[in-house]
Structure 1
């Protein structure tokens, strides 16, 4: 796998061809989607040089660029947290614990937290494929979320959701049909 294939695995971020009208307009206007795509590209480059082709200098170079942009956008996402197909809809405070594992085609909105319940705990969530995490949702603790689950806006999930393709809402989160 080369770097281009690794970056192109995130085809859900709607990348425009280089020098196309959409690319040039995004670049000139510096739209929200431009910054989100740039962050995901830097994340994937850091992952590539951390996991697939070990190169410390390039790993730290892209990690620094990603972290600087992440500070501006409000993101803290470590390399290797998300599988391919990550879609970020909005910027603003997306925090993901370094040990959390999220499957393919995850959609995440702004102001989300995927982490542990306390400072003493070190058990991070494991989230399946095709999960949609709504605005302001929190997934906390060493829990498992099944494939295809939709987590509603503002939900606080502290218990495992093992039933696939359900919707979870509320504080504390509960399954609705």
Structure 2
């Protein structure tokens, strides 16, 4: 959770690193945020988180401003990602539908693809808790009161409705099961 300016800078830096965005010059960053919608979305997400977590009235006004911009960008890209769910190093490689429940918690260095749903199940408010360094393939559905351990990969179109707390496994299928072992550093290159 982003609470200080230092946290905000760190999250932004790690998100850029996860998306292979360099910090070469001011001109490069201006071009990036004007022409790279996902990079701008991630910046708005982190600014919303920072100002939402502050308690003074000025921060709440600034939060409202960023929230409007964030909502517009979310609708354009097809992302429904609430604040304070993802840890630093979030990577979204493509535009497309991503829906995440506000009660979900996802650790650092998550790489999430299109047509993914992370949500509650059966009217319950319990949502998934996903560890650090997790790859979520296109079309994956993760729902219910489940825990996914660190350094795991969820295959494309998997339906995950039970916990997998082991590390270094590939989870896939409908219903989901462990398909094999995996070295997550081969998939998530920036860690």
* 1:27 Cα deviation from its structure 2 partner: 6.5
Shift of residue 14 of structure 1? 2.5
Find the partner of 2:92 among 88, 95, 99: 88
Residue 162 (structure 1) aligns with? 165
Q: Tell me, yes or no, if structure 1 residue 105 matches structure 2 residue 109.
A: yes
Q: Which secondary structure state, in structure 2, belongs to the residue aligned with residue 19 of structure 1? A: helix
SS of the equivalent of 1:4 reads helix
Q: Which runs of 4+ in 1 moved over 6 A?
A: none
Query: What is the Cα deviation at residue 7 of structure 1?
Result: 1.9
Deviation at 1:23, TM superposition (A): 6.2
In 1, Cα distance between the equivalents of 2:73 and 2:169? 34
SS at match of 2:44: helix
**Is 1:56 aligned with 2:60?**
yes
1:18-167 maps to which residues of 2 (within 5 A)? 18-20=26-28, 24=31, 30=35, 34-52=36-54, 54=56, 55-118=59-122, 120-167=123-170
Name the structure 2 match of 1:7.
12
Provide the rounded CA distance (Å) in 2 between the counterparts of 1:144 and 1:27. Answer: 34
Q: Structure 1 pair 23/160, CA: closer, same or farther in 2 (3 Å)?
A: same
5+ long unaligned stretches in structure 1: none
Once the two structures are TM-superposed, the CA of residue 162 in structure 1 deviates from its matched residue by 1.2
**Which runs of no fewer than 5 residues in structure 2 stay unpaired?**
181-191
From the superposition, tell whether residues 69 and 108 of structure 1 become closer, same or farther in structure 2 (CA, over 3 Å): same
What count of residue pairs does the alignment treat as equivalent? 170
**TM-score, normalising length: structure 1:** 0.89
Alignment TM-score, normalising by the size of structure 2: 0.83
- Kindly indicate whether the alpha-carbon contact (under 8 Å) linking 2:54 and 2:60 is maintained by their aligned counterparts in 1: no
- The answer to whether the 8 Å contact 1:6/1:48 transfers is no
Residue 52 to residue 5, structure 1, CA distance change in 2 (3 Å) = farther
- Deviation of the 1:6 alpha carbon: 3.9
